Each structure stands twice: as C-alpha cells, then as structure tokens.
Structure 1
Amino acid sequence: MKAKIVYFSHGGGPLPLLGDPSHRAMIRFMKQLGNVLPRPKSIVVVSAHWEEEKPTLIASPTPWLLYDYYGFPKEAYEITYPALGNPDLAKSIATLLGDAVLSETRGFDHGMFIPLSLMYPEASIPTIQLSLLSSLSAADHWNLGEKLRPLLDEDILFIGSGFSFHNIRQFWKGDDEQNNAFQNFLIDTCSTDKPIESRKQALIHWENAPYARYCHPREEHLLPLLVCQSLAQGTAELIFDDKILERRAVAFLWS
C-alpha cells in the first residue's frame, strides 16, 4: 500500500491557529505529523464539515476558503491557505464512486485548512475534499471507503478530519469515564489485530459502543473514521491520545 491514511481530531474551529492553550498537544502533534509522513503528491480530505446527498468532490483548480465558524476574532477570517486543487484526481475519484458530483464552487472548509496549515504550512500539495453523505449512515460511509480502495497504490495522503469526541455542550468540563470508555472502544476497534469483518461490524454499529451518543450526539465527526478504516482495512497505529479542549481525543494512521 503506497497511500497513507490518517484520521485525526481537528480541534475547535480556528482555535489551533489562534494559539488557544487547550490545543497545545494537538498543535505539537500536527506539526510533527507533517514532518514524519512521507510527502505525498496529493491529499484527499474527508471533512466532518461537508455533507451532501451524493458524494461530492471539489474540482476547482484554485479552491477558496470557507470560514465555516462564527464568533471568533477578526484574524480567524484572515487565515490564508492557497493550496491548489487537483481536478484530474477529483474526476478519477468521481468515476470510481459512480454516483459522485463534481463541484467547482465549493471552498475548502476549516476541517481541511486548519490542520493542513499546521502540517504543511507552505500549502504546496494539491488537495481536494470529498464530502460526507447527508444520510449520515455508517454503512454508506463504510461503502464509500471500500470504493476508494483502487487508489491505495497511488501516492496520496487520505485524511479523515473529524473529532473522536464531539459533544459541544460537554467540552471544557474535563474528562470523564464516559469519554474514556468510548475512546478505548475506538482504540480497540482500529488498533487491535482482528478480522476486518469485526472492525466493520463494530464501526457500522458504533451506537452500541459504551456512551456512544454521549460522545457523538450527531455522528458527522466520527464518520470520516469509518471511511478511513474501510479504505485501509488493516490495523491502525494509534498516533495521538491526548487532550483537546480538555477532552481526550485520538488519531490513527494506516500505512
């Protein structure tokens, strides 16, 4: 497998680039990750912040930035990340997916440009985004990852950009046994050697995990993980297990 696949927690809006102290561990991790991973020819980001009825890909050669957050200081809306798109790759992926849509008007959302500003600040790697499905079906997102498997021999970095804990009302309250139980479930599912069918069933039925709906009242920040695990199939390396916004969060790498 030439491709690299990573799922990580991308933090709270623009806070990682604004120097928020509750993101120190994440900032350090992201900067190191960009140096450790082999430099890919292209990046494909599946972000928690884009949902469409059909899988949709950014196909513009020069995507703009979508500041999809609210109530932050002026500098949060002056962030630049002039990465080029990759229309040819977008078209190839659309062909693989069969029912995909190409968009030349959608911009990069903060699930893309916040972590990539830390990982690859020079913005010199062509990047596209692939949407989630508005069905929010775990099975549909697992199938999405399987359809991408012919690309594993390509020099592509696939990024699932979400948050392994995403209960907005419970951030900043300190960690608890509920979140620890769910993070341990994710680690066991993705980073323990087991048959792929076991991983598939565990993630498709993630709501049965301990405190699942406490950690994810809405699943959009978890679904990029399903796409990544389905694409990779094999056992992940746990590469981050620390606090973001006072909550334990994890990241995985498949290579």
Structure 2
Amino acid sequence: MTMSVQPTYFIPHGGGPCFFMDDPRGVWSGMEAFLRSLPNSLAEKPKAILVVSGHWETDGFAFTGAERPELIYDYYNFPPHTYQLRYDVPGAPALAARAAALLKDAGIPSSVDPKRGLDHGVFVPLKVAFPDADIPLIEMSVERGLDPALHVAAGRALAPLREEG
C-alpha cells in the first residue's frame, strides 16, 4: 500500500491550556475549530506524528524516545484542573531513532532523549485535534542557536518521513 505524502502544518497552541478552560468571549474558538478540522484535512490517518516544539531548545536537535511519554505542564497560574489533563498517547521510539539518523546522515547533530515528555506546545493542541490519542507521537526540539538555515536543512533531511506516513 502506498501512503500519500503527509502535509506539514504550523500548529498553534494558544495560551497554556486555553482550550480546556472557560472561554466566555470565544477568544480561542477559531483556533480550536482549526485544530479539530485537521484530521479531516488529511488524505489518510498518519502512522505517526512528529511535532517540533518551540518550548524545547537543545544543543543539536533532540527527539523524544519514550514508549509512553509523560506530560510536562510547563504553564503557570492556571486553574487546578488543567494540571490534571491527560494525553496518554503512545510514543514512537523507532521513529525518533529514524529521524535522528536522517539528521545525522545530513551532518546535523541529533539525539534521542528517552525520558523527555511532551510539553504543552505539543499535547494541548494535539489533544484537541486528535483526542483519541491513538497516533504515535514524538516531539522534536529546536536547536539552541536558532539558526534559520540549520532548521531549514533539518526540515529537508526529515522530508522523507512525510512519504512514510
């Protein structure tokens, strides 16, 4: 079976756990609707999802490698129930290893972190878009130097993953 090439998206995550709080003025409703529409915009269900998070900076690039990544509640002064949110999505250690190898083959430093969890820039929007938490997920850091050319090169090196679902 041939998979169609999966798209890439900029995924907004709003403010902290905004989608899981009262929003009487509807400030987040448009963004929430966009996130909920993502699955229907795909030609087929992804085999896995790789999300680059601006909330994780490392020397070289890093990927989460846990079988069951924990959540990092890296937001502050929100209602207590927002620290009880769950997103029990499976990790994808094999995908993390493949992604790190693709970067290394391109001469870009990378590693897999088997303990790092998913920060709110990842789990909050994906909990809205894919609430069943049934698509394996890995998070990728940004490189601490924030060199745009390096990040574009990393994207090019990872592009084959889109054809693999």
Q: Tell me if both proteins adopt one fold, taking TM over 0.5 as the criterion.
A: yes
Q: Hey, which of these two has a bigger chunk of helix by percent?
A: 1
Q: 1:9 aligns with which of 9, 12, 18?
A: 12
* One-letter amino acid matched to 1:149: A
Matched letter for residue 127 of structure 2: S
Aligned partners of 1:8, 1:60: CA distance in 2, in Å?
Answer: 22
Matched, 1:89 2:99: no
1:142 lines up with 2:152 in the alignment? yes
Structure 1 residue 152, shift from structure 2 partner: 3.0
Q: Which moved more, 1:60-69 or 1:5-14?
A: 5-14
RMSD: 1.2
- For 1:55 and 1:31, how far apart are their aligned partners in 2? 29
2:49 to 43, 50, 70: 43
Structure 1, unaligned stretches of length 5 or more? 156-255
Corresponding residue for residue 72 of structure 2: 66
Q: Verify the 8 A CA contact 2:64 2:117 in the aligned structure 1.
A: yes
Q: State the AA in 1 paired with 2:96.
A: A
Report the AA paired with residue 137 of structure 1: D
Is the CA contact (8 Å cut-off) linking 1:47 and 1:131 kept in structure 2?
A: yes
The separation in 1 between residues aligned to 2:162 and 2:128, in whole angstroms, is 25
What per-residue deviation string (whole Å, max 9, x for no partner) do you get for residues 101-136 of structure 1? Answer: 111111001111111111110100000011101101
- Show the counterpart of 1:24: 29
Of 68, 81, 93, which residue of structure 2 is paired with 1:75? 81
Contact 1:35 1:119 (C-alpha < 8 Å) held by counterparts: no
Unaligned 5+ segments in structure 2 are: none
Question: Which structure's CA Rg is the greater one?
Answer: 1
Matches within 5 A, 1:157-196: none
Q: Distance in 2 between matches of 1:17 and 1:50?
A: 22
Cα deviation, 1:77-108, whole Å, max 9, x if unaligned, reads: 00000000000111011111112111111100
- Structure 1 residue 54 displacement after superposition: 1.1
1:56-85 alpha-carbon deviations (Å, 9 max, x no partner) = 000110100000110101011000000000
Distance across 2 between alignment mates of 1:29 and 1:140? 29
The question of whether the paired residues in 1 share the 8 Å contact of 2:11 and 2:125 is answered with no
User: So what's the TM-score if we normalise by structure 2?
Assistant: 0.89
- 1:151-179 Cα offsets, whole Å, 9 max, x none, are 23111xxxxxxxxxxxxxxxxxxxxxxxx
Stretches (4+) displaced over 4 A? none
Q: Report how many aligned residue pairs link the two structures.
A: 155
Alpha carbons of structure 1 residues 52 and 127: separation in structure 2 relative to 1, 3 Å: same
Q: Which has the higher contact order (CA 8 A, sep 6+)?
A: 2
Q: TM-score, normalised by structure 1?
A: 0.59
Structure 2 residue matching 1:71: 3-state secondary structure: coil
**What is the aligned partner in structure 2 of residue 102 from structure 1?**
112
Q: Is the 8 A contact 2:57 2:141 kept in 1?
A: yes
Q: Is the 8 A contact 2:5 2:164 kept in 1?
A: yes
- Residue 55 in structure 1 maps to residue 61 in structure 2: yes
